[in-house]
Amino acid sequence: MQTEYEIFQFDNFIEQSALALKKPVVFIRSYGWNHSQNIEKINESMDIYRDLLPFDMFESMRMSEFIFLTLDNIEEAMLFFDETFPKSQADCDPELYVFYSIVNELGQTILTNE
């Protein structure tokens, strides 16, 4: 390739995005829904999260394994994600596991559940 380019790892790209946007960014990966063969458990998990999450967030997670949110209030988001999602993959059934990572407006990862 004959053009200038820069390489980022996935997490670095999210951090750079938050820095460029000057807004906190949350990365969510609905891991359990996409890495299980147990349809009954996946449906149970979706029912739980459908009741816990805002409609648009849930629908986005249902449609895509990877979603991103920009935030205005990082403290409120930190509390919400900490209370809503499992503390780690080891703490729950695989189908219930949803990974999240919160990056502040300075591009620093400040909270994750893994």
- Contacts (Cβ under 8 Å, ≥6 apart) of 44: 95
- The total number of structural domains in the chain stands at 1
Is the residue at 71 inside a domain?
Answer: yes
pLDDT digits (tens, 9 = 90+) for 9-28: 988 899 999 999 999 999 99
pLDDT digits (tens, 9 = 90+) for 71-108: 999 999 999 999 999 999 998 999 999 999 999 999 99
Is the residue at 63 inside a domain?
Answer: yes
Is the residue at 81 inside a domain?
Answer: yes
Q: Is the pTM of this model over 0.85?
A: yes
Is the residue at 5 inside a domain?
Answer: no
Structural domain boundaries enclosing 102:
10-112
pLDDT digits (tens, 9 = 90+) for 59-72: 999 999 999 999 99
Distance CA 11, CA 27 (A): 9
Is the residue at 1 inside a domain?
Answer: no
Residue 91 pLDDT: 87
Distance CA 108, CA 78 (A): 14
Residue 65 pLDDT: 95
